[in-house]
Each structure stands twice: as structure tokens, then as C-alpha cells.
Chains A and B, each alone.
Chain A
Amino acid sequence: MSTSTVSTSSGSTTVAKRSALAPLGKPFAAAAGVLAIVAALLPWVTFTLNDGNWPDKSTLQFFDAPFAVTGFRWHVLLIGVLILVATFAPVPSKGRVVRALGWGLTVVAFVNAAYITVKGGGLGAITAVEGATAFGAVVGLVAGVLAILAGYGIGIGPVGEWNFKVSTPVAYLVLLVSFGAVLYAVAAMLTTGGVGSANPYAGAIFLSFLGFAGGLIGALSGVGFVRWLSALSEQHRVFSVIVLAACALLLPFTDAGNEYWMTVAANIGIYAATAIGLNIVVGLAGLLDLGYVAFMGIGALVAANFSGAATAHFGIHLPFPVAAAAAAIVAGIFGAIVGSPTLRVRGDYLAIVTLAFGEIFTRSAQNNIGGITNGSNAIPGIPPLSLFGTEFNKSISIGAVKLPAGVLYYVLIVLLVAGTMAVFANLKFSRIGRAWIAIREDEDAARAMGIRTGKMKILAFLIGATLAGLAGAVFAHKNGTVSYESFKFLESVTLLAAVILGGMGSIPGAVLGAALLFVLPEKLRDFEDYRLMIFGLALILIMRFRPVGLIPDAHRRAEMAERADENAEEAHVEAKKA
């Protein structure tokens, strides 16, 4: 249709931009680096805000104490140095690196400037107050924008390729260090800005840190390091999985090891496990499910009813493994039922059928169907799990180290996520997984190749729902209350967004997506009201600018690249015609 014309125009504009900026690339980058370093040493605010001092010695004067730089100023300084390094050292795909660092810097500067301006009351905080001038934020923003422009000027080439081989011990060391760095980054990300609302600037500190981390990761992936590392971990898969699991289990020993963050991490884990299940249905088999959270709800309700809670409908108390198995089986059966229309319905109509099933679940649960959901009263008082007499919500100590409350739940959920990941990975690389991907790509062709498409599609729904039911059973015990309100349409959309944000069909993607979507609201209490609005906007923007997600599945990435090439070619041909 008209997309060819659209891509033509966008193609020509980028070309024009590149040619105009090309000679300015290096000087801009150098200037940006220097300005960033200067910004780090300039004062960012000259007075105390109403909620207390702006964090990290932001009133520091130029060169008063350059060694005392911490927090976001330290990040800005580091980015500045890195931009300079990238400009003058022979770095692969220089344009991408500088652009990513520029975006990181812009976000850091913008977040800090915006918070200071809003909380400090007008621009007075940044410009002159009582004779003292705080230009840090302005200089930082200018440096960031310059760096982005410089990136385009240098040219956005292909991602760097690292082809050198390393011996196994070195590879192990690299993986160990990298995953250790990931653990450190996760712990830092959770603890920056303190717990919840204790620090009035928690949201700003966190966003700023996110910008910094995003810039660094973007630069690393531009250089080609991320791709190389993922290839390396693919090569040594077993070792990577062990190290990754160990890292996850070490989280309670880091700064993030307190009750609050254990609870948040456990909740993220539950949703991550559910998102991985959804990823089977959406990412592998390509069936859009808009009522997926209902299966989690079914699992939670089954587990709650067999938990021995006072308000449960059946007076039976089953041991947790049995109840969890029952939850998974019941959810799986419902999954197969909901999936059965796939035999006749395809594409977006199927999405609407799943949405209808989800709404029927919500309505029925709300109206206490059969007396098993307790409607809006919920099922409270579900007893916590216990093992050898230790309740999971109490703190435990191993030797001299006292671990925070909730750590056992965290461990259980790490195991749950690891198990779900193992199921997903094994299925993906099996005959069944290949059949799903074939169906996703072209159902008729898959059928012609002898794949029993109907059976396979129902199987996708069944397995996805089973995993969600299992996650739901853990959810019921972890939270102690099960109410239909936790399983509404919006939750389904959130899970879907987690899968898409992370990258459809990719395992780390689903975990990352769930983590981002469930950590951000914890961190951004200031924006609680705007949470869903930003979330809707994010869905639109992702589909527009990065439909493959943050960590795309290799297969899907190749597919999208092909498509992009085709578009580019088409645009080229049209441009010639014109």
C-alpha cells in the first residue's frame, strides 16, 4: 500500500541528515565528551530543596572537590570519559556507541534537571539564585544532545563483529565476571534510591541510574560485546545456566537482601514465570492471548481452595505440591478449552476469543460462581508454605549470616522461574517448538509440511496455561489472599507487554520485560497515577520503533532484518523511479 512511500521519505531524510552532519561527527563527539566531564564537576543546584538536599553533593562547586564525585555526577563523568575514548580510540561501530552514550547522558541530565526544576520550583534552581549559578544540568543536556547528533554524524553502521575464539577457561572467566556484573547491576538497580518512599528522590535516582545503565548497555551492544557474550554463553550453555542460577540465589546476600526487596523480587519472579508461559503461546506459536492471566487466576483459586484457609469452599487441606499440581492441571484443562477455537479461528479473531474467555472468567469470579471465589471478599488467610517446620515468610539464618524474611519464597520462585525457563528452552529447540515456529510463520505451509496444526496449537495453550496455573498456586501462598481483582484484563495486557517489551520468543526477554514492568511502579511512586498511561504509550512506541523487543530472539531478529532489507530495497527502487 502506501508504506513504500513512507519508507522512501524516511530513508531520504536519514540520508540527508547523515550527509549534513558527517563532517561534524568527530568534533561534536569530542565536544560532548568534554562538556559531559565539565557538567559532572559543575554545580547542578545551588540551594536546598524543600524535601532536603538534592542527592550526591549536587551543590559541589567547580573543582572544589573533584574526587568526591558520586551518584549521578559520577555517571555523567564516566559517560564523558567513555565518549572521549570512543571518539579517539579505534572502536568498532563508533556511531552506535557514541549515540547510545549520548542517549544515556541525555536521560541522566534530563531526569535530574526536570526533578530539580519541578521540586525546586521553576527554572530558578538551574539558573542563577543569589548570585550562584548552577549550569550543570544545562551543560549536561547540551552534551547529551551533541553526542546523539555526533553519533548520527559518524554514521550508524552495522553492529561490531567479534570473531576471535577464546579457550574454555577464559570463556568461563568472562562469563563468570559478566554474570557477576549483572548480579551487581541488578542489586544496584533495586537498591538505588532506597526502599519505596523512604527517600523523596528515590524515583529520580532510579530513573537516572536506568538511563546510565541503558546508555552503557547500548554502547556495549553497539561495540558487539553483547552479541559476542550471548554467543559465548550459548556455547557453554550448562555452565552459564549454573552461574546464572547461582547469581540469582546470591541476591539475598547483596545490598538488596532485605524483606522489602525479597518480596518485590518474588513477585517479579511469579510474573516472569507467567510471562514465560505466555511467551510459549504468543512468542513461539504466534497465537495472541488476551485473557492469559485468567489461567493464573484459576491456578491461584484452586490452590487457595485446597490450602485450608478458613474461607475456602472445600474443607480439604492438601499438601502444597499436590495442590500446586491440581492447580496446574485444572488451569491446563481450561487452557485446552480456551485453545480449542483455534481449530477454526485465526489471527486477531482468536485474540478476541481469548479476550472473551478472560472476561467471562473475571465476571464469574467477581460474582462468586459456585461459591468458590468469594467474589469481591476474596479468599484471605491462606497459610504460608512451610518446610520442616520453617514457615516461608520467616527469616532464616545460615551459620552466622541472617537472611531476611521471605527469602525462602524467593528461593522457591527462583526455582520456579528456572524450571519454567528449562521447559521453555527444551520445547523451543524440540520438534514441538519447531512446529510452533513453523505455524507462527505460515500456518498453511506448516500444515502442508505435515504438522498437525490444530493439535500443536491446542498444546501451546495447554502448556502455557499449565505454567500459569503453577505460578498462580505459588502466588496464592505467597500473597496469602486471592481476589479476582488480581486477574483482570489489564494484567493480561501487562503480561503481554512484558513479553513484547522483552522480545517475543526470547527467554531472557520475558524475564527482563516482567522485571521492568513490575519494578518500575515500585520505584516510581511519584508517578503512580501516570503509570498505566505511560504504559499504554510505551506499548504504542515499542510497536512503532522496536517491534522485536529489547532482547530479540535470534530467529526473529533475522526475520525482521530481512523485512527491513526488503523495505529498503523497495524504497531504493521507488526513489530511482522518482
Chain B
Amino acid sequence: MSVLLQQLANGVMQGALIALIALGYTMVYGIIQLINFAHGEVFMVASYGGLATFTLLPDDLKKSPAVALPLMFVGGIVVAVVVAVIMERFAYRPLRNAPRLAPLITALGVSVFLQEAVRVFYPNAKSNLPYPNVFPEGNLSLGPVNISWTGVLLVVLSVGLAVILQTYINRSRMGRAMRATAQDPDTAKLMGVNPDRVIVLTFILGAVLAGVAGILYGGFLGNINIDMGFQNGIFAFTAAVLGGVGSIRGAVIGAFIIGLIKTLAGQYMPGGTQYDYVWIFVVLILVLVFRPQGLFGEPERVRA
């Protein structure tokens, strides 16, 4: 029983992480119907950006987490946003009216490029890099279940940011422009919306969330490597599809389901953790084949 509870808690934390990345996928797909395959790499780059920020800090600041951690968040997010904006401007925008498969192949290219660029140019990125220990230490104990404070931070930030994002898209002027562009870019243009700005904003929002996720991933697992983007990107994409691509709430709920599937399958399914990855892919295929609109269907979609 305690094992099950602990695994449930682990699943929720995994899900919170995946949710932060999945939001980026779902928003971009909602607006321009592009599977931004490179979004996972944005998350990875942000993680390395945060690490680089920490390395560049003077020694006395490194010792005070209250200063170092926010600075790392800022550094990681800035790197992620810059990468995402460059990517949108030079790789995706020229292809906006190209055949559907062209941008997907470009996205693959961006993904390989970013991963390799980090591997080649970041010092020692060829092996796992330890992440600095500036995160709150210790555990929150609820009966038999232990949750690290970083995990709590992760869940709180993830759900909180998702709520803020949902409110922003539903209430603000820019959010309305986003929804309009998702619905019909040409008409939106006639109504005075600049689609280019909206699309860049979408990429930026996705990158900010991926940036937060990148830093928290480092703190949560203690070390980072260049494969983390591809793997977690796939999980997040699965979550976005599971929840119904284009829907904010769907992406978050889908992410928690994926997180739970991963930990529970690793615990209880034959093959153990070696195959947890496989189960997620099985879920992905089943969802795409039998319910491609996702669990939560149409109404919540940004794309509508």
C-alpha cells in the first residue's frame, strides 16, 4: 500500500514536470498546427542555461540559494525564450504555407541541431552534469509518503502556471488575439490582429514554461544530460495528444495521467522500469488511433 502511495506521489511529480512542457506543445499546435518537435530541446537548453548561469555566479552568491535559484530561473528562461524566438523566426516562419510535412522535418532538424550544439559546445556535456544544490532540501512526509520539497515546488508551480496561462488566454486582449488566430488567421488579420506577433508570443510562452521545467528537472533529479529533451518531449507530446491537442486543461490532465502511467507501469507491469517508456508509447499509439481528438474533445480547445 505504501509503495502504491509513494508511486502515486512520484507519478504526480513526473506529471507536473511533463505538464509544463506539454503546454508548449499544445499552444503551438493549437495556433499553427505544427508539432514543434524541437520543444523538448528548448526544455533541455533551458536546463543547461540555468546551469551556466549558476556557474557564472560569483562564489558568495552560489552559497545563498535565495539569490541563486531565482537567477537560475531567469537565466534558463532567457536562454529558452531566445532559442524559441530564433527557431520560430528562421526555421518555421518561412515554411508557414509549405506542405504539412516540411515544417515537421524542419522541426526534426532543429531538434538534432540543438541537441548536438549543446553536446559539442557546452563544456563536458558529453556526460551527465551534476546540478547545483540550491533547491530546498528535505522531504515533506505525509504518513508513509515522502515528497521532496523540490517536488512540492514543482507541482505547485506547474498547476499555478497552468491556471495563470488559462486565465491569460481566456481574459486578456492578447489571449483573445491568440484564440482568434487559432480559429482563423485570415479573419483575425482583418480584425487587426498581427498573426506574426501572436505566434511569436505563443512560442515565448511555451519557452517560459519549458524554462521553468528545465530548471526544476535539474533540481528534481540532481543531474542533467542532453537526452532529457527528446525523452521528456515525447512524454509531453503524448500528454498533449492524450488531453486533446490545443486544450490547456487537457494537456495538464494528460500530463498527470502519463506521469502516473510511467511510475505505475514501472512498478507493476512486467519488465519493470526498463519498459515504462514502452508503455507510454503504447498509450500514445492507442490514443492516436482510437481517439485522436484526445480525452477532452473539442470544447476546451484554444483552436476551437
Contact = CB atoms under 8 A, between A and B. Distances in A.
Given A345-B288, A536-B112, 9 more contacts: A1-B186, A6-B94, A345-B289, A345-B292, A351-B101, A363-B277, A539-B106, A540-B106, A543-B95
A347 B105 contact: no
B102 A547 contact: yes
Nearest to B104: A348
Given A1-B186, A356-B284, A344 B292 contact: yes
Chain B binding surface SS class? helix
Contacts of B99: 547
B130 interface: no
B116 A536 contact: yes
Contacts of B271: 367
Nearest to B126: A529
Contact of A344 (B112, B113, B281, B289): B289
A166 interface: no
Contacts of A359: 234, 277-278, 281
Nearest to B116: A533
Nearest to A539: B109
A465 interface: no
B35 A543 contact: no
A341 B281 CA distance: 14
B101 A357 contact: no
User: Which range contains the number of B residues in contact with the other chain?
Assistant: 35 or more
A540 B116 CA distance: 14
B237 A540 contact: no
A500 B105 contact: yes
Chain A binding surface SS class? helix
A349 B105 CA distance: 13
20 contacts: A1-B96, A1-B97, A1-B186, A6-B96, A344-B292, A349-B292, A352-B241, A355-B234, A359-B234, A360-B278, A363-B281, A364-B278, A493-B112, A529-B120, A533-B116, A536-B114, A536-B115, A536-B116, A544-B95, A544-B106
A490 B104 contact: no
Given A349-B288, A547-B98, A532 B104 contact: no
Given A356-B285, A540-B91, A532 B98 contact: no
A539 B112 CA distance: 9
Nearest 6 interchain pairs by C-beta:
A539-B109, A536-B113, A536-B112, A533-B116, A3-B97, A356-B281
B266 interface: no
A537 interface: yes
Interface in B260-304: 271, 274-275, 277-278, 281-282, 284-285, 288-290, 292
A369 to B, nearest CB: 9
Interface in A8-34: none
B200 to A, nearest CB: 12
B97 A341 contact: no
B110 interface: yes
A543 B115 CA distance: 19
A239 interface: no
A34 B93 CA distance: 41
Interface string A517-540: 000000000000110110111111
B76 interface: no
A3 B96 contact: yes
A529 B289 CA distance: 39
B274 to A, nearest CB: 5
Contacts of A538: 109
Contact of B108 (A341, A493, A547): A493
Contacts of A421: none
Given A539-B108, A540-B106, A360 B292 contact: no
Contacts of B185: 1-2
A536 B110 contact: yes
Interface in B64-96: 91, 93-96
Interface in A349-394: 349, 351-353, 355-357, 359-360, 363-364, 367
Given A288-B101, A341-B289, A2 B196 contact: yes
B288 A533 contact: no
A341 B234 contact: no
Nearest to A7: B97
A275 interface: no
B14 interface: no
Contacts of B104: 288, 348, 351
A334 to B, nearest CB: 14
B277 to A, nearest CB: 5
A344 B289 CA distance: 6
A505 to B, nearest CB: 13
A352 B292 contact: no
A566 to B, nearest CB: 10
Contacts of B196: 2
A364 B237 CA distance: 21
Nearest to A535: B112
Nearest to B101: A288
Contacts of B241: 349, 352
Query: Which of A3, A341, A344, A543 has its CB near the most chain B CB atoms (within 10 A)?
Result: A543
B117 interface: yes
Contacts of B136: none
Interface in A395-443: none
Interface in B186-234: 186, 189, 195-196, 230, 234
Interface string A198-242: 000000000000000000000000000000000000000000000
A536 B102 CA distance: 14
B116 A532 contact: yes
B100 interface: yes
Contacts of B275: 363-364, 367
Query: Which of B35, B110, B196, B281 has its CB near the most chain A CB atoms (within 10 A)?
Result: B281
Nearest to A366: B274
A328 interface: no
B89 to A, nearest CB: 11
Contacts of B102: 543, 547
Given A347-B100, A357-B285, A544-B106, A367 B274 contact: yes
A496 interface: yes
Contact of A540 (B109, B115, B230): B109
A165 to B, nearest CB: 37
Nearest to A367: B274
B106 A341 contact: no
B280 to A, nearest CB: 9
Contacts of A364: 275, 278
B281 A537 contact: no
Contacts of B113: 533, 536-537, 539-540
Nearest to A290: B108
B47 interface: no
Interface in B111-130: 111-117, 120
